[in-house]
């Protein structure tokens, strides 16, 4: 037993009324209950439908401000034009390179499209924190180096392959092959890049090496890639959503509503355009204060971008584990969990990983195998069922709130589009690995709006989506 922790020492009264469990069939009936004190301590994390409807109304206002030329510059939800106006039709062909920067890892891919067949070779390269926080030149030199190694490995250095660059940060675009960085998000903060055209920075880094030839056909957001990748299989896909390290969505908008698009560009020649909402920034300026909690404020204060990306901080995987840890810490401090004792490690920021939330919630009701494994990893052994149930309760509050906020976002977009049978293509580690995220979202979106819709896991949007955007763009050329 560690840290003098006596299992069940100061357990809430509920333990006393627990019936003994005899076998697994009864496990469900015998699940310990979470006490009123714990529920009270966490109550701000529970969002009512009325609150979610207000979130929707405010997000809708912010989206309109982003789209309108008069208010775009001051808007928090920017709704950037992507210049992606054609969805794939399944006939795209060719070999394409793709770069994917913006999640936990950096990837280089070679994608072969041939009708409905698809082949992919890829390599993952770690981006050390020193690079995420170093200079832009170091970052782009590293990207160019990985690209060159990959291309040489595949003996393609003498070909000029079209490349799609999935760069998952907010960009102001004036065309498909130009994108100026507006701000870094998700733990990146490289100097000398904000305001610059990242395609030019990539091309300069490739030129500095002078050992490979690349034709950058398109720069795109991961939400765009996700939408394209899903649309390749499903013609109804009109929204792309990421719930991973960060959170963001893009959707198909009528070009006539895209007032902030540069006049005279080809934006106005086609009826629709993909809009990258960058909804992660929603909440800046106080519009989400009515739902933010003490835990959100602590996350924000300790982040490298305080008072920015507030909606993202309530939803995405970069913050979910830490949110749960902060709630657990509060319960321990109040003597409501683990007998008031907490391993020192768990008092440190970042020690409760987001994947733990999914693992703990993956335990069947009344069983705590994963939960005990996670707690053991953190130095807590012999934990009572009651404590495990409480930990699971905290995880489920945090993930449920994230799923509901993302649902409010999708419901807002569905209302805005005003169409039935829209498919939402979704990617990202939280959506992919959390056991209930999909079901929670399906139920809540249904409650919050009236259009029929589908949620579909979008396979590898950042890779295949980049190839599809590059393919559509090179066809246009």
If one asks whether residue 222 binds ligand GLC (CB under 6 A), the answer comes out as: yes
Cα–Cα distance measured from residue 234 to residue 439, given in angstroms and rounded to the nearest whole number? 20
Bridge partner list, 14: none
| 224: number of Cβ within 10 Å | 29
Residue 164 or 280: which CB sits closer to ligand GLC?
Answer: 280
Among the listed residues 186, 238, 444, 464, the single contact to ligand GLC using CB under 6 A: 186
Q: Are 322 and 303 in contact (CB under 8 A)?
A: no
If one asks whether residue 100 binds ligand GLC (CB under 6 A), the answer comes out as: no
Cα–Cα distance measured from residue 263 to residue 197, given in angstroms and rounded to the nearest whole number? 20
Show the tokens assigned to 418. Answer: 């005003």
Q: Are 9 and 364 in contact (CB under 8 A)?
A: no
Q: CB burial class (10 A; 0-12, 13-18, 19+) of residue 457?
A: middle
Pick the stretch among 34-42, 123-131, 166-174, 390-398 that binds ligand GLC (CB under 6 A): 166-174
Residue 222 a catalytic site member: yes
If one asks whether residue 246 binds ligand GLC (CB under 6 A), the answer comes out as: yes
Q: What is the DSSP string of 163-198?
A: EEEEE-S-EEEEETTEEEE----TT---BT-TTSBH
The alpha-carbon radius of gyration of the chain (Å, integer) is 24
Among the listed residues 88, 170, 321, 409, the single contact to ligand GLC using CB under 6 A: 170
If one asks whether residue 188 binds ligand GLC (CB under 6 A), the answer comes out as: no
DSSP 35: P
If one asks whether residue 463 binds ligand GLC (CB under 6 A), the answer comes out as: no
Q: What is the DSSP string of 65-76?
A: HHHSTTTGGG-S
If one asks whether residue 221 binds ligand GLC (CB under 6 A), the answer comes out as: yes
Site for ligand GLC, residues 405 to 424, rule: CB under 6 A: none
Cα–Cα distance measured from residue 327 to residue 332, given in angstroms and rounded to the nearest whole number? 9
If one asks whether residue 62 binds ligand GLC (CB under 6 A), the answer comes out as: no
| 105: number of Cβ within 10 Å | 13
Catalytic residue among 86, 100, 197, 222: 222
CB of 222 to ligand GLC, least distance (A): 5
The residue number whose beta carbon is nearest to ligand GLC equals: 246
If one asks whether residue 356 binds ligand GLC (CB under 6 A), the answer comes out as: no
Among the listed residues 82, 85, 168, 384, the single contact to ligand GLC using CB under 6 A: 168
Q: CB burial class (10 A; 0-12, 13-18, 19+) of residue 290?
A: exposed
Size of interface with ligand GLC, in residues (CB under 6 A)? 18
If one asks whether residue 312 binds ligand GLC (CB under 6 A), the answer comes out as: yes
Catalytic residue among 186, 308, 313, 330: 186
If one asks whether residue 35 binds ligand GLC (CB under 6 A), the answer comes out as: no
Q: In the complex, which residues of this chain contact ligand GLC (CB under 6 A)?
A: 102, 168-170, 185-186, 221-223, 242, 244-248, 278, 280, 312
> Which residues form the catalytic set?
186, 222
């Amino acid at each position: 037993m560690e840290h003098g922790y006596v299992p069940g020492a100061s357990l809430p009264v509920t333990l006393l009324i627990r019936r003994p469990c005899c076998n697994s069939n009864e496990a469900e009936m015998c699940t310990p209950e979470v006490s009123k004190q714990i529920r009270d301590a966490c109550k701000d994390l529970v969002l009512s439908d009325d609150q979610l409807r207000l979130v929707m109304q405010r997000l809708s206002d912010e989206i309109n401000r982003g789209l309108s030329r008069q208010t775009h510059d001051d808007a928090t939800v920017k709704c950037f034009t992507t210049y992606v106006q054609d969805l794939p039709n399944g006939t795209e062909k060719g070999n394409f390179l793709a770069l994917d920067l913006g999640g936990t890892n950096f990837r280089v891919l070679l994608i072969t499209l041939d009708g409905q067949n698809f082949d992919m070779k890829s390599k993952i390269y770690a981006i050390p924190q020193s690079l995420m926080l170093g200079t832009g030149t170091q970052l782009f030199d590293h990207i160019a180096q990985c690209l060159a190694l990959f291309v040489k490995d595949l003996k393609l250095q003498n070909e000029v392959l079209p490349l799609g660059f999935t760069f998952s940060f907010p960009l102001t675009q004036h065309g498909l092959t130009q994108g100026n960085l507006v701000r870094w998000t998700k733990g990146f903060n490289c100097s000398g890049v904000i305001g610059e055209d990242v395609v030019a920075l990539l091309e300069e880094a490739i030129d500095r090496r002078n050992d490979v030839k690349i034709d950058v056909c398109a720069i795109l957001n991961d939400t765009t890639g996700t939408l394209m990748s899903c649309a390749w299989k499903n013609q109804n896909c009109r929204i792309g959503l990421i719930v991973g390290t960060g959170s963001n969505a893009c959707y198909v908008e009528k070009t006539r509503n895209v007032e902030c698009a540069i006049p005279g560009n080809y934006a106005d020649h086609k009826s629709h355009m993909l809009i990258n909402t960058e909804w992660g920034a929603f909440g800046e300026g106080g519009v989400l204060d009515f739902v933010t909690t003490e835990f959100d404020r602590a996350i924000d204060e300790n982040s490298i971008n305080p008072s920015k990306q507030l909606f993202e901080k309530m939803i995405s995987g970069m913050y979910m584990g830490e949110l749960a840890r902060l709630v657990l810490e509060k319960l321990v401090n109040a003597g409501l969990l683990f007998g008031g004792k907490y391993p020192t490690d768990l008092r440190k920021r970042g020690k409760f990983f987001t994947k733990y939330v999914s693992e703990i919630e993956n335990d069947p009701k009344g069983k705590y195998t994963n939960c005990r494994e996670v707690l053991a990893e953190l130095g807590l052994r012999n934990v009572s069922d009651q404590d495990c149930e409480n930990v699971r309760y905290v995880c489920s509050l945090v993930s449920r709130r994230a799923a509901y906020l993302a649902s409010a976002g999708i419901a807002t977009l569905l209302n805005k589009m005003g169409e039935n049978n829209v498919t939402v293509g979704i990617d990202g580690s939280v959506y992919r690995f959390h056991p209930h995220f999909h079901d929670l979202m399906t139920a809540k979106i249904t409650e919050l709006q009236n259009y029929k819709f589908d949620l579909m896991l979008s396979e590898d949007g950042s890779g295949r989506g980049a190839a599809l955007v590059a393919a559509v763009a090179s066809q246009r050329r």
